[in-house]
Structure 1
Amino acid sequence: MRTDNLILLKTVSSHYQLELSFFTHLHDLGLIEIEVMEQSPYIHENQMHNLERMIRMHHDLEVNPEGIDVVFNLLQKIEHLKKDLMAAQNRLRLYEN
């Protein structure tokens, strides 16, 4: 199998000085996807932005994985509400003109 666009989780773990269990916990909560190839866990590079946000929350704010899950769920809801508001505003503009 090809590992293009995949980052070895052990590398991420050592770079951010976190235990692999932290990433496994995030995976168990459904926050990240871990791919196992040749008995090594990998993460796709397109997940790194959100993963880095989670790591900053954990390091800087001392938020545990369950708290990170709550925060990310709330952020997703906010984004959904923003899109709904934008759509409603666009429809309203049609009637105003």
Structure 2
Amino acid sequence: MQQQEYVSITEFCNGHSISTAVITQLNEYGLVSIIERSDSLYIPLEELPKTEKMLRLHTDLNINLEGVEVVTRLLERIEQTNEEMIKLKNKLSLYE
């Protein structure tokens, strides 16, 4: 079984100069997973790129967290649609 690594929310927020409340709210919207261990909160390493992307939307583009949620959900749907389209094209090429 592979051991998963985590980053402390406090360290992450200090490094990005934001409040821990932002990450907590992203967790409440279901956009970021937070793990609690020994009275501290952590973000899995695999979620860091996605979290940083949402953070850039929030801070750089001044999009509120509700807007970040909408944008993130739409981007996920676009990605799923693109993957489905590729699968369908591959199936179609078998019959050509």
Answer whether TM exceeds 0.5 for this pair.
Answer: yes
Runs of 4+ in 1 over 3 A off after TM superposition: none
Q: What is the number of equivalent residue pairs in this alignment? A: 94
Unaligned runs of 5+ in 1: none
Unaligned runs of 5+ in 2: none
**Of the two, which has the highest radius of gyration?**
1
Residue 6 of structure 1 aligns with which residue? 6
User: Quick one: structure 1 residues 94 and 60, their matched pair in 2 at CA, closer, same or farther if it must change by over 3 Å?
Assistant: same
1:33 partner amino acid: S
CA RMSD of aligned residues (A): 1.4
Q: SS of the residue aligned with 1:61?
A: coil
Q: CA shift at 1:76, angstroms? A: 0.9
Q: SS of the residue aligned with 1:77?
A: helix
Check if 1:72 corresponds to 2:88. Answer: no
TM value normalised by structure 1: 0.90
The CA deviation string for residues 12-68 of structure 1, in whole angstroms up to 9 with x for no partner, is 111111111101100000001111111111111110000110111111101111111
Residue identity (%): 30
Q: How does 1:1-97 map to 2 (within 5 A)?
A: 5-96=5-96
